[in-house]
Structure 1
Amino acid sequence: MQTIRTSLFEMTVPDIFENPGVVLESIRATYNKGDEWVTIGVSPIENFSGLYDTELEKQLSYALVEEYWEPYREGIRSLAFASVALETTDPDDYSDRGNTRFGGLPDLPCGITYPVFTTYDNRVMGYQFIAQINCEELASYQNYLPRQGLLYFFITDQEDFNAKVIYAQETDVLISAAELEIEDDFIYDDHGVFAPYRVKVGKYVSVPHFYNDDSLYKGKAASLSALEEEYEQTENLRRQLEEHTLSVKPVHSMNSYVFKQHDSPQIEAANQLRGNANDFTVLLKVSSDRLPGFCFWDAGEIYFVIHKSDLAKADFSNVYCGLESS
């Protein structure tokens, strides 16, 4: 075990850096909130699983009450995630600074400039802004994000999808997106700047799509492979669980499953960044959305994936981004 302490977190974790094959079973993460240290999580299983949220656990139990689910009930419960639903609503005129937003431009703290990179032909171009997440606004819906601050999500373009995620803890003084002199031709991706939209938030239970999910069918979930042939039943289950978000559709989401034709986002991230797939989580899934103008290839989805130990210590410097499209 080792203890990592920064100005933001104190964390005790297994020696995963010496042995990247270790599966994280326990993390003690303590959050520095002004003049006091507050423990915000003891186990990533508790933080990420839908079973440890009383409200979500009741919703899942109700959805699985029919006799049909009896052979699969324990397996589905073992795989259920406590997810955050994010739905774009109204155009954002930038009148509020630091609100959760998809598209447009970010509200940046003083000292943080809009991120750029050097292209293959030596041009300095801007990343494409996808979203900013106000962690305090989402604090009551989950236990895995920092309790305050802003998360900013960018990609290079819609060919490479190289991710840049920035976390700003101090957000008392923000430069409004309206004040940024960023034009479409400064953004490397051909689409330029997306339309800015406000967001409403909810929480729900996310379960697998049961399509080429062989890597999940182990232990308590071994029997779930039979559900690969039960499309109507599994889609009805997913729909029923998503309807519990109190009218918030999970157009975009955090800590959720992603429909994949091949390897899961966690497996892709583990292959790219090294480690065990079980130790990664989908930090943010962004779907094609007509409101801000997101269209990732053929109406696909992109996903930002992070190692749970990095998330626990608020280190967003090593995030993988991938794409799923038909």
Structure 2
Amino acid sequence: MSNHLNEQLSHALEQLLNEHHLAPAAEKLLPQARSTVKLSAIEPDLYEKIGNSRVGGYPDLPQAMEWPADASGKLMTPLVQLNLADIAPASRQGWLPETGMLYFFCGMDEGAANIEHRIIFVEYPEQLALRHPETATILEDVYETSFQPYKAAAVSAVELPNMPYVDYEVIDFEEGSTDRYFELAAEMQGDRITNWGTMFGYPAGQHHDAELEAALFILADKTAEYDSEKAMKHLADMLGKSRERAEAEIEDMIMLLEIDSNERVGFQWHNAGVIHFFIRKEDLLARNFSRTYCSLYSS
């Protein structure tokens, strides 16, 4: 189960690179492209259907489920509910359960690292009902706003390495090639008005060590230091002083979901940033969503 493209997608992306005069970089770029799921908000959700995929608004929860709260007891804010029967077919990796509901809740987003959150998987979503919080949730309270509900739709997509993850020596082979590359990468992201989320892609940011930061917290309960080499050493020390094991953990760290700022829904992560949720591949395949990491990036 890898995140690499199949032969058909690789051929289609190769043609796209040729059309944008990036053929000399294709050999090295193709293995780095990721198969993703793009999530959009096209139609407002009027809560007419229970258990559909939804971004913003309030969730449809099992009757016995308690509303998640942060460490101080404040109600977390619901961000997304995904009906995996609708979402999983758009995922080519086979990582997601084929059925069930996946909920994303968030606490205070003041810091950029280790944001308090909950990801809840309900394997057999029976007796779901629309639930309104008893009091304003934490982000509603802080920002004095509510988030508009939209029906969430999913499509399969392909993503090239973004700015912090791309090898500039590969794409800078002639005058204008770097600009053409980022124009193509932006074009492949789609419409930013309707698109609000991505699963399994490259995390947006300034540095290429978001997976290291996530692994360090999940496995060592420690927020990453700015010095990535020190962070790598700490992670390796926690894994029997094995850099090889640390690199394997970073390689298997998955960006489960990235949620972009979106005017329609009302999400605004600091200065038009994004919020990330990470999980280890081993935990995702075991349907264990109790060990995850949440961070925020804003320019």
Give the TM-score, by structure 2 length: 0.79
Contact 2:14 2:23 in 1 (8 A): no
* Cross-structure match for 1:270: 215
Decide whether aligned partners of structure 1 residues 200 and 185 sit closer, same or farther in structure 2, where only a CA change above 3 A counts: closer
* Cross-structure match for 1:308: 281
In structure 1, C-alpha distance between the alignment counterparts of 2:20 and 2:180, rounded to whole Å: 13
1:305 maps to a residue whose letter is: F
Displacement of 1:292 after TM fit? 1.4
Mind listing any 5+ residue stretches in structure 2 that lack a counterpart? 220-245
In structure 1, C-alpha distance between the alignment counterparts of 2:83 and 2:180, rounded to whole Å: 36
* Cross-structure match for 1:157: 108
- Say if 2:80 is the partner of 1:131: yes
Between Structure 1 and Structure 2, the one with more strand by share is 1
Counting aligned pairs with the same residue, the percent is 27
* Cross-structure match for 1:105: 58
In structure 2, C-alpha distance between the alignment counterparts of 1:106 and 1:164, rounded to whole Å: 14
* Cross-structure match for 2:151: 198
* Cross-structure match for 1:183: 135
1:109 maps to a residue whose letter is: P
SS at match of 2:70: strand
* Cross-structure match for 1:23: none
1:99 maps to a residue whose letter is: N
2:128 maps to a residue whose letter is: L
Deviations 1:166-222 (A, max 9, x none): 000111310223xx343326667513642211122211101111x333xx65xxxx9
Deviations 1:73-111 (A, max 9, x none): 122111111111111122212111111111111111132
In structure 2, C-alpha distance between the alignment counterparts of 1:320 and 1:85, rounded to whole Å: 20
Deviations 1:103-152 (A, max 9, x none): 11111113211111332xxxx21011110111110121112211100110
Contact 2:171 2:178 in 1 (8 A): no
Displacement of 1:256 after TM fit? 1.1
Equivalent of 2:170 in 221, 224, 242: 224
* Cross-structure match for 1:170: 124
* Cross-structure match for 1:324: 297
- Say if 2:164 is the partner of 1:212: yes
* Cross-structure match for 2:183: 236
* Cross-structure match for 1:19: none
Decide whether aligned partners of structure 1 residues 212 and 90 sit closer, same or farther in structure 2, where only a CA change above 3 A counts: closer
Decide whether aligned partners of structure 1 residues 283 and 185 sit closer, same or farther in structure 2, where only a CA change above 3 A counts: closer
In structure 2, C-alpha distance between the alignment counterparts of 1:234 and 1:267, rounded to whole Å: 26
* Cross-structure match for 2:47: 94
Alpha-carbon RMSD across the aligned residues, in angstroms, is: 2.7
